[in-house]
Amino acid sequence: MRVLSFFKMLILGLLSIAIVPTAAANEAPAVYAQCIACHGDNGQGNTALSSPAIAGLSESYITRQLNNYASGKRGQHPEDVSGQQMVMISKPLDLNKDVPALAHYIANLPQVKAVSQVSGDLKNGSRYYHAKCGACHGGQAQGNKSFNAPKLAGQHSSYLSKQMRYFSSGVRGTHADDKLGRQMAMMAKTVNEKELKDILFFISQQ
């Protein structure tokens, strides 16, 4: 009996060491409750609702996008129905309190497994990607903070494809103060549909 309870205590002790610090390290701020319906408990997104995965995007990118929606740099175009949803969500957020807490929490969520419905030529995809995208988004599409380029790996292909269409058709990345969006809009115009299909397939394999 004494031996058994000693082991029980030992196990409980080890469990609390193992569990408590990780739980405390990344606790959802209360305001994240507003995000779950579309982006999910783990920031995995929801392709049926056209909601992107947000888990593991960088703090700076999340912060910039929430600010962009709130300030009218993104999601203003009349055709941008999903962007308009995020404008409505972002406007009431406290930019000094809610946004940093959300960005910190979401950036520290583990990357999720993306939904990919694209198929393509991996070899061509890799070639086009490295020629046209990798310099900014990183060799494995992991993102590159020094160029402000977000991670694309782990993102649902349908979302990436839609954003590319938005950039090239002027739905996203046209606002005068959206320098980085304008830069990406220029890049989006350099790929044709066949190249993009292969590039998206390459990204889905990262």
62 makes contact with ligand HEC (CB under 6 A): yes
Please report how close the Cβ of residue 134 comes to ligand HEC at its closest, in angstroms. 8
Pick out residues in 136-155 that bind ligand HEC (CB under 6 A).
Answer: 136-137, 147-150, 152
Which contacts qualify for 42-47: CB closer than 8 Å, 24 or more apart?
42/109, 42/110, 42/112, 43/106, 43/109, 43/112, 44/112, 44/113, 45/112, 45/156, 45/159, 47/115, 47/156, 47/158, 47/159
- Name which position in 70, 109, 118, 191 contacts ligand HEC (CB under 6 A): 191
Tokens of 134: 């990798």
Please report how close the Cβ of residue 36 comes to ligand HEC at its closest, in angstroms. 8
H runs (alpha helix) in 72-192 = 81-90, 98-107, 122-132, 134-137, 157-169, 179-188
- Name which position in 95, 115, 153, 180 contacts ligand HEC (CB under 6 A): 180
- Interface ranges with ligand HEC (CB under 6 A): 31, 34-35, 37-39, 49-52, 54, 57, 62, 64-66, 75, 82-83, 85-86, 89, 102, 132-133, 135-137, 147-150, 152, 160, 163-164, 180-181, 183-184, 187, 191, 199
